[in-house]
């Protein structure tokens, strides 16, 4: 471990075995064992003792989902409108001030959403979240539900920005807030443009001392299981040398299933893992770095969310 608490990767190597298993570096194994010793992983949580929730599409579930959807929309519009009103006069005071205001929106909106949904939740590893500190990091989270984004907005510290597709500004109210807050946008359909935007974003966040929230799978998993990671986050880590703080989410694929408006009070867990040092990362071993971080997430997730 380094003095910052990050795990440094030295002479790590990952080789695929004939039986399909993966050999990981000693440093990665030590990192996983450290998380287990601290009780951070495995991250699955079934809720309070004896807790149960209804999983089927019964009439009560359908009715409550409709009521919750209406409440969510009203809560979103209210939070967005108030934040936009606050952001407009803050424009002359610089980006950092607007980002902090946008983070307050995320904290307030996320707090309200979990209460509207009625889901029990548990947050662990908050000592690694960086609350009250102005230290740029790359936050990475698994992604299998819209709820993931909301939970991350709620839990990440101030001065954390996101990257979204360029079309997001056309979403009424929320897109306007996204634009005013100064979050980065990329053209995901144009690979060259997307890479250039990621490089600019990396330089920009270091200059402004901002953290970045990223979803390394690139898109929401349709099954709830972890998907293979794209290279974007690794290029940003390589360019910035910033530590990676994993955020492992469980239960979101049950509480708000992908491409549906059915909400269930499934237990949620949000776990911050120790920072991963990236200062020793190299271009030559970029694929290995990606596999190591992917392995850490897979080890942390419960069986029903592990990679297939």
Task: Read off φ and ψ for residue 2, nearest 5 degrees.
Answer: -85, 170
Find the angle CA(27)-CA(15)-CA(17) to the nearest 5 degrees: 125
**122: Cβ–Cβ under 8 A, 6 or more apart, which residues?**
45, 267, 268, 269, 270
Residue 248 pLDDT greater than 70, yes or no: yes
What single-letter DSSP state applies at residue 233?
H
The closest alpha carbon to 264, from 80, 40, 43, 47, belongs to 47
pLDDT score at 22: 58
Question: How far apart are the C-alpha atoms of 32 and 35, rounded to whole Å?
Answer: 5
pLDDT score at 16: 44
Question: How far apart are the C-alpha atoms of 236 and 238, rounded to whole Å?
Answer: 5
Q: What is the pLDDT of residues 95-124, one digit of tens each?
A: 888 888 999 999 999 999 999 999 999 999
Instruction: Please report which confidence band the pLDDT of residue 5 belongs to, taking 50, 70 and 90 as the band edges.
Output: very low
**269: Cβ–Cβ under 8 A, 6 or more apart, which residues?**
43, 44, 45, 121, 122, 123, 124, 248, 249, 250, 251
pLDDT score at 132: 65
Encoded tokens for 258? 């992908």
Paired with 15 in beta bridges are 23
Q: What is the pLDDT of residues 294-304, one digit of tens each?
A: 999 999 999 99
Task: Read off φ and ψ for residue 163, nearest 5 degrees.
Answer: -125, 125
Q: Report the predicted TM-score, pTM, of the whole model to 2 decimal places.
A: 0.89
Q: What is the pLDDT of residues 122-150, one digit of tens each?
A: 999 999 998 767 789 999 999 999 999 99
Q: What is the pLDDT of residues 169-215, one digit of tens each?
A: 888 888 889 888 888 787 777 677 777 778 888 888 888 888 999 99
Contact 250, 305 (CB under 8 A): yes
Burial of 11 (C-beta count, 10 Å sphere; 0-12/13-18/19+)? exposed
**143: Cβ–Cβ under 8 A, 6 or more apart, which residues?**
149, 215, 217, 219, 220, 221
């Amino acid at each position: 471990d380094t003095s910052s608490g990050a795990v440094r990767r030295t002479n790590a190597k990952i080789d695929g075995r004939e039986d399909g298993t993966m050999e990981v570096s000693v440093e990665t194994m030590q990192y996983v064992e450290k998380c287990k010793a601290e009780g951070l992983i495995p991250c699955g949580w079934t809720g309070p003792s004896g807790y149960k929730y209804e999983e089927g599409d019964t009439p009560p579930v359908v009715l409550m989902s409709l009521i919750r959807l209406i409440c969510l929309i009203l809560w979103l519009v209210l939070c967005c409108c108030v934040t936009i009103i606050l952001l407009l006069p803050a424009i002359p005071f610089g980006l950092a001030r607007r980002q902090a205001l946008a983070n307050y929106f995320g904290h307030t909106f996320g707090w309200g959403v979990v209460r509207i949904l009625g889901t029990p939740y548990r947050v662990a590893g908050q000592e690694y979240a960086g609350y009250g500190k102005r230290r740029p990091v790359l936050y990475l989270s698994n992604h299998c539900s819209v709820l993931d984004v909301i939970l991350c907005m709620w839990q990440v510290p101030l001065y954390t920005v996101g990257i979204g597709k360029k079309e997001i500004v056309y979403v009424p109210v929320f897109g306007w807030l996204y634009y005013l807050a100064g979050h980065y946008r990329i053209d995901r359909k144009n690979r060259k443009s997307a890479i250039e935007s990621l490089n600019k974003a990396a330089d920009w966040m270091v200059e402004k001392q901002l953290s970045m929230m990223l979803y390394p799978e690139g898109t929401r998993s349709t099954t709830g299981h972890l998907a293979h990671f794209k290279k974007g986050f690794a290029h940003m880590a390589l360019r910035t040398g910033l530590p990676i703080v994993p955020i492992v989410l469980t239960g979101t694929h049950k509480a708000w299933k992908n491409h549906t408006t059915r909400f269930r009070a499934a237990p949620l867990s949000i776990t911050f893992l120790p920072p991963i040092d990236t200062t020793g990362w190299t271009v030559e071993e970029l694929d290995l770095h990606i596999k190591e971080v992917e392995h850490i997430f897979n080890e942390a997730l419960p069986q029903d969310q592990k990679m297939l």
